[in-house]
Each structure stands twice: as structure tokens, then as C-alpha cells.
């Protein structure tokens, strides 16, 4: 019998890793997972913000792990520090815009290092060290940019498309252990990352295009929590669009 059948949306007693937990979608996911009963391992680069987030989480048993996950030593330190995980949320990411005529090697390397290589290499290390428990759920934060490809997002969109494609293969590989792997693909979300792009992209106008209105980080966190919970135990190898109906006409 499913041990979470009484309330399949709860995460009681589960160990959940959240990367990028010091702000934005990662912070919102960490907060919601804690309220739903999980013990959270929060990872981020900014020690002060991360400690503040962890200190304010509901419940107990949470911990902070400071580190830049593009650094192999930081990834190894995280793998060594975590218990067997029942859920992982790979939310750390970076966005930078450049039309193709202005793309540089540094632009490509930075975006792929953070958005693709770091979560994939961390996943590999966690699996190799058996830090992901049977029946666990892995959730990767992608972006609808992989489908809609807004102006000047060619490399950013490429990192997210690569992430989603790899997660589909990963889901097949880990299915025998009952492990699930999915993506959440947000539209334009009101986060510090989106605000940082305001000078080069009218993000406010983009958000207004969504029929259902502005998406908050907490809205994306709810989709993440669903994919972590046993309510979605038959859901794997897919991508959940959280876009306020923005791309309904192109799907």
C-alpha cells in the first residue's frame, strides 16, 4: 500500500535536496517542501541568503550547503554531505541574453556550465554514490524558452532544451529503481533573475501576454512539489508547463 495514500500531496519524512535555494524558484520550492513535511537540504552560492532561508523554514532538520555547483569540489562536498535523498530539485540557473551575432565562447561556456553541466554532473555523482533512494523523484527546472525561443535567447534556450532531452533519457535509465525524473518548464516568472533582464528585455510586457496573469515563484514551486509527491507517482519522463496559458496556441 502506498504509505502516503492518506494525503498523496504531503512530503512528510522525506529528504529533499533543493539547489538554487537562496532565491527565486529554488527558495520558493524549499519553503513549500518544508511546509509539506520534508527535511530540506538547501544549496546555494550566497551563504548569508541561504542561511536566512534555512533558518526560516517550517519544521526542523533542515540544513544549508553553500557551494557553486559548477565547481567539482563543491559538487563532491554536497554529495558527501547529503543523506539518501527522496527528492531532488535542480533549480540553480542563470539567464543571459545575446543575439547570435554577439555570442561569445564565454557566453556559451557560462550558460552551459550552470544550466546543463552542473545539474547533470551532480545527478551523475549522486547516482554513482547511491545518494538517491529507490522511489525518489528528480525535478529539473527548465524553461519554456526551449520551445518559444524568444529573441536573443538562442544559447539559453539551447541549454534548457539539452537539459530536457537528457532528463528524458535519464528517466528511462533509473525507472528500474522506481526513480522518476521530470522537468518543470516555467514561463515568465516574477523572480530576481527576471528582474535582472529588465534592462535588455521588457519582461513586464512579456508577462502581460499570459492569459492567466503573472506567474509567481510559488506557483512554480507548487508544480515542483506535485512532482515530488506520491500524487504523481506514475508521472515520469515529462515536462510540466507552468506558463499561465502563454504557449497554449503553439502546443
H helix count then E strand count, the chain? 10, 9
Q: How many CA atoms lie within 13 A of 31 on its CB side?
A: 18
Burial category of 222 from C-beta neighbours within 10 Å (exposed 0-12, middle 13-18, buried 19 and up):
middle
Find, among 202, 246, 240, the residue nearest to 221 by Cα.
240
Residues forming the active site: 156
How many whole angstroms separate alpha carbon 17 and alpha carbon 32?
13
Q: Report the alpha-carbon distance of residue 144 to residue 45 in Å, rounded.
A: 25
**58 with 34: CB under 8 angstroms?**
yes
CB 210 within 8 A of CB 245: yes
Give the length of the chain: 251
Q: Are 171 and 215 a contacting pair, CB within 8 Å?
A: no
The number of beta carbons lying within 10 Å of the beta carbon of residue 249 is 7
CA dihedral 120, 124, 129, 134 (to 10 degrees): 90
Residue 214 φ/ψ, nearest 5 degrees: -75, 135
Amino acid at each position: 500500500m502506498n504509505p502516503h495514500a492518506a494525503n498523496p500531496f504531503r512530503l512528510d519524512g522525506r529528504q529533499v535536496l533543493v539547489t538554487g535555494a537562496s532565491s527565486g524558484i529554488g527558495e520558493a520550492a524549499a519553503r513549500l517542501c518544508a511546509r509539506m513535511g520534508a527535511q530540506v537540504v538547501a544549496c546555494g552560492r550566497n551563504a548569508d541568503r541561504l542561511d536566512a532561508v534555512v533558518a526560516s523554514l517550517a519544521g526542523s532538520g533542515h540544513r544549508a550547503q553553500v557551494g557553486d555547483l559548477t565547481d567539482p569540489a563543491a559538487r563532491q562536498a554536497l554529495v558527501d554531505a547529503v543523506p539518501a535523498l527522496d527528492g531532488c530539485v535542480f533549480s540553480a540557473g542563470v539567464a543571459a541574453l545575446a543575439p547570435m551575432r554577439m555570442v561569445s565562447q564565454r557566453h556559451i561556456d557560462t550558460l552551459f556550465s550552470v544550466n546543463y553541466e552542473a545539474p547533470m554532473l551532480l545527478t551523475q555523482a549522486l547516482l554513482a554514490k547511491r545518494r538517491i533512494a529507490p522511489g525518489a523523484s528528480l525535478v529539473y527546472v527548465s524553461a519554456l524558452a526551449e520551445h518559444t525561443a524568444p529573441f536573443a535567447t538562442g544559447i539559453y534556450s539551447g541549454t534548457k532544451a539539452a537539459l530536457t532531452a537528457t532528463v528524458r533519457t535519464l528517466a528511462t535509465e533509473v525507472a528500474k529503481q522506481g526513480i522518476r525524473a521530470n522537468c518543470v518548464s516555467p514561463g515568465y516568472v516574477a523572480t530576481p533573475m527576471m528582474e535582472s533582464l529588465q534592462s535588455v528585455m521588457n519582461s513586464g510586457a512579456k508577462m502581460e501576454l499570459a492569459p492567466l496573469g503573472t506567474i509567481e515563484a510559488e506557483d512554480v514551486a507548487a508544480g515542483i512539489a506535485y512532482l515530488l509527491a506520491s500524487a504523481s507517482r506514475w508521472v515520469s519522463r515529462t515536462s510540466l508547463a507552468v506558463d499561465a496559458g502563454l504557449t497554449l496556441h503553439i502546443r
